[in-house]
Structure 1
Amino acid sequence: MELIHSLVLVVNVVSALAVIVLVLMQHGKGADMGAAFGSGSAGSLFGASGSANFLSRSTAVGATVFFATSLALVLMTSPKQSASLGVMDDVKQEAPAASAPAQSKIPE
């Protein structure tokens, strides 16, 4: 179990770093106009718009892996509990009193 926990933790950290790098590599919305005037991205490895699609899909996959491993870490490290009543666990139930007539104390 400890090996699985360590493996999921390593995958979580690697996916977090990958998402950070992929987000920083992406261009903003205003960067598309520069490609139309020959800024140099048209001759890149993925073409003018291919890198944007590749980076955005890679970011989505990295974010999905990050969220899945984060959820797995939470489920693996949370303490196991049986069904509880929440704050009502500490309340002790008392048996109702027998139906005796109410006696009032009147000072004489």
Structure 2
Amino acid sequence: MIVALVILHVVVALFLVGVILVQQGKSADLAAAFGGQGSQTAFGPRGAANLLTRLTTYGAIIFMLTSVGLTILLSRSSDKSVLSGHPTTQSSPKK
């Protein structure tokens, strides 16, 4: 169960990176005014904004839910500390 949730978490994280990088910035229209090609998009001027915004929102919700789910599952499955395998050594204070 944990492995499947980790795989889903990584896939959603990579999906979010891709979707966020594809989106235009809010100042893209200003670049088009000075001769930039920012206004020419594959989805039209506003069609991609709604689709990409929804995909980002759903991806972020899934990312948060998998983060919380992994935290809960990992806290229940391991009762050990990170340092439980290492022997402890105590040194006496020097006087």
TM over 0.5: yes
Matched, 1:26 2:26: no
Q: CA RMSD in A?
A: 2.2
Question: Percent same amino acid at aligned positions?
Answer: 36
Residues 29/6 of structure 1: CA separation in 2 closer, same or farther (3 Å cut): same
Structure-1 residue corresponding to 2:59 = 62
Displacement of 1:66:
0.5
Unaligned runs of 5+ in 2: 78-95
CA deviation string 1:1-22 (max 9, x = no partner)? xxx1111110000001111111
Unaligned runs of 5+ in 1: 81-108
* C-alpha distance in structure 2 between counterparts of 1:38 and 1:54, whole Å: 23
Greater C-alpha radius of gyration: 1
Give the TM-score taking structure 2 as reference length.
Answer: 0.67
CA deviation string 1:64-90 (max 9, x = no partner)? 11000010000001047xxxxxxxxxx
